[in-house]
């Protein structure tokens, strides 16, 4: 084969590779998310609940859970007030508190929400936790988690192959891969913020706690560049705070006390793990 023929062959190979890469990008960015969202809407509830229970076991092992009844009851009362104000579909929400310094909470498919003790210790009022829980409830109701898991099926299947059939290793790798999938898209986060605020409004819970939570995050993470904001899975906390502040100002409402008569400081104390 002549040098010119080899050169032309190389160009064709590069062109084919480029086309294949472009197709993969289109599939990953547009086709797979749309398909995953449609499939997620048809997943049976019991499948969602099973996956959610497995994820909770991975995130919050039994020996690291905060089990004091009073602490759990306080969060359950907040959830009850939220879900009684809005249609949440077929979901029954279950709260697990894990003894971890992370200032956050995470929603798993099927109605499971894990709250990290770090969030409770930093929350100066129950309205702060109510804002975070309203956001996480919206992830469940809108099946963002189930959609994210379906989008990540190639990663989860790869974890199964890597394990070589070993059940323990497969479960560990699969759980890790699935937890990684629960990093929602920026659009999902914005929707959960917006609908979470609407849920607070319906429940007559002051939005200040939710807005203040993102204000605190914004202060801790700094401004960052426009490129960083664009590439981030989550919108910047400062942007989220400003969006929520604008929405709250557009539709003000009279808030009612949350957990009236309850000593919130008890929830903020270090927990007793199981």
pLDDT digits (tens, 9 = 90+) for 8-37: 555 565 545 444 444 333 344 444 455 556
Whether 225 has a pLDDT exceeding 50, the answer reads: no
Domain count along the chain: 1
Return the closest-CA partner of residue 131 out of 117, 115, 145.
Answer: 115
Residue-level pLDDT at 77: 97
In a domain, 87, yes or no: yes
Distance (Å, rounded) from C-alpha 186 to C-alpha 40? 18
**Window from 44-53, 185-194, 226-235 with minimum mean pLDDT:** 226-235
Q: Bridge partners of 94?
A: 112
Q: How far apart are CA 268 and CA 123, in angstroms?
A: 7
Q: For the residues 106-130, what does the mean pLDDT come to? A: 94
Query: E strands, 1-150, where?
Result: 94-98, 105-108, 112-116
**Rounded to 5°, angle at Cα 112 from 63 and 185:** 115
- Full-model pTM: 0.76
pLDDT value for 12 = 61
Residue listed under structure tokens 């009362």: 77
> Is 88 part of any domain?
yes
Cα-to-chain-centroid distance, residue 109: 10
CA atoms of 154 and 178, how far apart (whole Å) = 11
Q: Residue 10: inside a domain, yes or no?
A: no
Please indicate, yes or no, if residue 23 is contained in any of the structural domains. no
In-domain check, residue 26 = no
The tokens for 101 are: 């310094």
**Quick check: is 147 in a domain?**
yes
Which of 104-108, 154-158, 214-218, 228-232 has the highest mean predicted lDDT (pLDDT)? 104-108
Residue 27 domain flag: no
Question: What domain range includes position 145?
Answer: 43-268
Give me the chain's average pLDDT, please.
Answer: 77
Percentage, residues of the chain above pLDDT 70: 66
pLDDT at residue 127 is higher than 90: yes
> According to the model, what pLDDT value does residue 259 have?
94
Question: C-alpha distances in angstroms, 29 versus 8, 22, 107, 216?
Answer: 31, 10, 23, 32
Is residue 13 one of the residues assigned to a domain? Answer: no
């Amino acid at each position: 084969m002549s040098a010119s023929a080899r050169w032309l062959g190389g160009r064709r190979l590069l062109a084919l590779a480029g086309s294949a890469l472009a197709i993969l990008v289109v599939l990953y960015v547009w086709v797979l998310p749309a398909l995953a969202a449609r499939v997620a809407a048809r997943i049976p509830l019991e499948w969602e609940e099973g996956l959610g229970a497995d994820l909770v076991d991975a995130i919050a092992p039994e020996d690291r859970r905060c089990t004091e009844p009073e602490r759990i009851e306080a969060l359950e009362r907040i959830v009850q007030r939220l879900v009684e104000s809005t249609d949440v579909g077929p979901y029954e929400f279950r709260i697990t508190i894990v003894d971890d310094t992370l200032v956050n909470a995470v929603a798993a498919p099927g109605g499971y929400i894990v709250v990290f003790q770090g969030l409770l210790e930093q929350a100066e009022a129950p309205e702060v936790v109510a804002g975070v829980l309203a956001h996480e409830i919206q992830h469940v109701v809108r099946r963002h988690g189930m959609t994210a898991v379906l989008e990540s099926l190639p990663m989860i299947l790869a974890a199964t192959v890597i394990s070589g059939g070993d059940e323990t290793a497969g479960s560990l790798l699969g759980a890790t891969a699935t937890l990684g999938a629960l990093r929602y898209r920026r659009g999902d986060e914005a929707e959960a913020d917006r609908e979470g605020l609407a849920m607070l409004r319906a429940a007559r819970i002051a939005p200040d706690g939710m807005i203040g939570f993102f204000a605190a995050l914004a202060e801790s993470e700094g401004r960052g560049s426009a490129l960083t904001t664009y590439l981030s899975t989550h919108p910047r906390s400062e942007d989220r705070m400003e969006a929520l502040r604008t929405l709250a100002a557009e539709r003000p409402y009279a808030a009612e006390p949350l957990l009236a008569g309850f000593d919130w400081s008890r929830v903020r104390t270090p927990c007793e793990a199981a």
